Structure 1
Amino acid sequence: MAVVEIRRSSRRRRTVRAYREGDKIIVLMPAHLSPEEEQTHVDSLVERLDRRERRVRPSDDELLARASVLSDRWLDGQALPSSVRWVTNQNTRWGSCSSSDASIRLSHRLKGMPEWVVDYVLLHELAHLLEPNHSDRFWALVEPYPHTVKAKGFLEGVSWQQR
């Protein structure tokens, strides 16, 4: 269970909000709430935050299942990865693949990004299983995905911001 830090404010009148800060969950709430109201809000917000994070931070098994769906939809099921997993040692690349064992690795920095961005990076790596370079044939495999341009722009913006 994550540590929950409650920050009360007399200026806050009605709204209660929660967000993750490192390993802690911060809950912002009005100072006037009773301990019972506080606990009700904390329980509800922590559950909602966990649910949202599970949705935008899929497990390795969920990534492999998503890769299968993307391959079927955009690559006629031709790209068959042996594994797809999150890694923490990729800080300059969003993803990579090894054609020798058909494994795909996605940078942990993608966690929490919109699903269409993660799908784009996953599709990009799936296409590399079929075409190892960035040739015209490679881009012909990736570009039918409707969010390609938007996802590339999103990732470029994140990269620029992190410089």
Structure 2
Amino acid sequence: MRSARRTRTVSAAWRDGAAVVSVPARLSAAQEDQWVLDMVERLRAGRDRGRRGRGARSDADLMERALALSARYLDGRGEPVSVRWVSNQRSRWGSATPEEGTIRLSDRLRPMPAWVQDFVLLHELAHLAEPGGHGPAFRELEGRYPRTPEAKAFLDGVSFARNHLPGDGPGDAAGRHDGDADRD
């Protein structure tokens, strides 16, 4: 939408499900087209960030995310039969049973950022794709997730706080954060 009153800035917003971009009237058609493309991309990125930031709330959300992560980072390998939240995992963030194709994530992950949940989910998916433990092939798959080091550090920090800060009570078995054991 061209605006005679708008002289220098470009703005964009969602209105009734449609992106509305306001540009100064002085812009050429080519400049307007480029601004519209850029601003719609920014709007979509912001909307997608908001969705990712909420994290998985249900088992169905977990399954949807697992399939998307498998397709994106594992070339569709390691697709699970089921993925669910569990409340009985106090010493692990997640676990996988490759023979059954099942993944369980500790409900302690629920309040954590979506990218941390995604890392744990991808870690467990890698176990389905490479059931031989934490060997080089497994680590290569796990390392495809771009925030792996950051997620591991986040989980290590949570484990440290639970184990060592006053008033937080007993920890979670020496900081275990993956499906099998303490990070090796």
- Shorter chain as denominator, the TM-score bin is 0.5 to 0.7
Q: What SS class does the counterpart of residue 105 from structure 1 fall into?
A: strand
Match of 2:150 in 1: 150
Q: What is the CA–CA distance in structure 1 between the aligned matches of 2:56 and 2:137, rounded to whole Å? A: 31
CA distance in 2, matches of 1:56, 1:135: 29
Q: Which amino acid aligns with 1:80?
A: E
Matched to 1:64, the amino acid is M
Is 1:136 the counterpart of 2:136? The answer is: yes
TM-score, normalised to structure 1, is 0.66
The within-5 A match list for 1:103-114 is: 103-114=102-113
Conserved 8 A contact 1:79-1:126: yes
Letter in 2 for 1:62: D
The separation in 2 between residues aligned to 1:101 and 1:93, in whole angstroms, is 19
Count of residue pairs the alignment pairs up: 112
1:130 to 1:57, Cα distance in 2 relative to 1, 3 A: closer
Q: Which amino acid aligns with 1:147?
A: R
Runs of 4+ in 1 over 4 A off after TM superposition: none
Any conservation in 2 of the 1:95–1:106 contact (CA below 8 Å)? yes
Determine helix, strand or coil for the equivalent of 1:71: helix
CA contact (8 A) 1:88 1:107 kept: yes
Cα distance in 1 for residues equivalent to 2:156 and 2:94: 14
Task: Confirm or deny: 8 A CA contact 2:55 2:117 kept in the other structure.
Answer: no
Deviation at 1:99, TM superposition (A): 1.0
Structure with the bigger RCO (C-alpha within 8 Å, sep 6+) is 2
Post-superposition Cα deviations, 1:112-163, rounded to whole Å, max 9, x if no partner, equal: 1001000000000000001120001100001121100000000000001111
TM-score (norm 2): 0.58
Larger radius of gyration: 2
**Where does 1:68-87 land on structure 2 (aligned, <5 Å)?**
68-87=67-86
Structure 1 residue runs without a partner (length 5+): 1-51
Contact kept in structure 2, 1:57 and 1:112, CA below 8 Å: no
Question: Which runs of no fewer than 5 residues in structure 2 stay unpaired?
Answer: 1-50, 164-184
* Aligned counterparts, 1:10-21, within 5 A: none
Query: What is the alpha-carbon distance in structure 1 between the residues aligned to residue 63 and residue 96 of structure 2?
Result: 13
RMSD: 1.8
Residues 73-123 of structure 1: CA deviation (Å, up to 9, x unaligned): 000011110000000110110000011110000001000100100000000
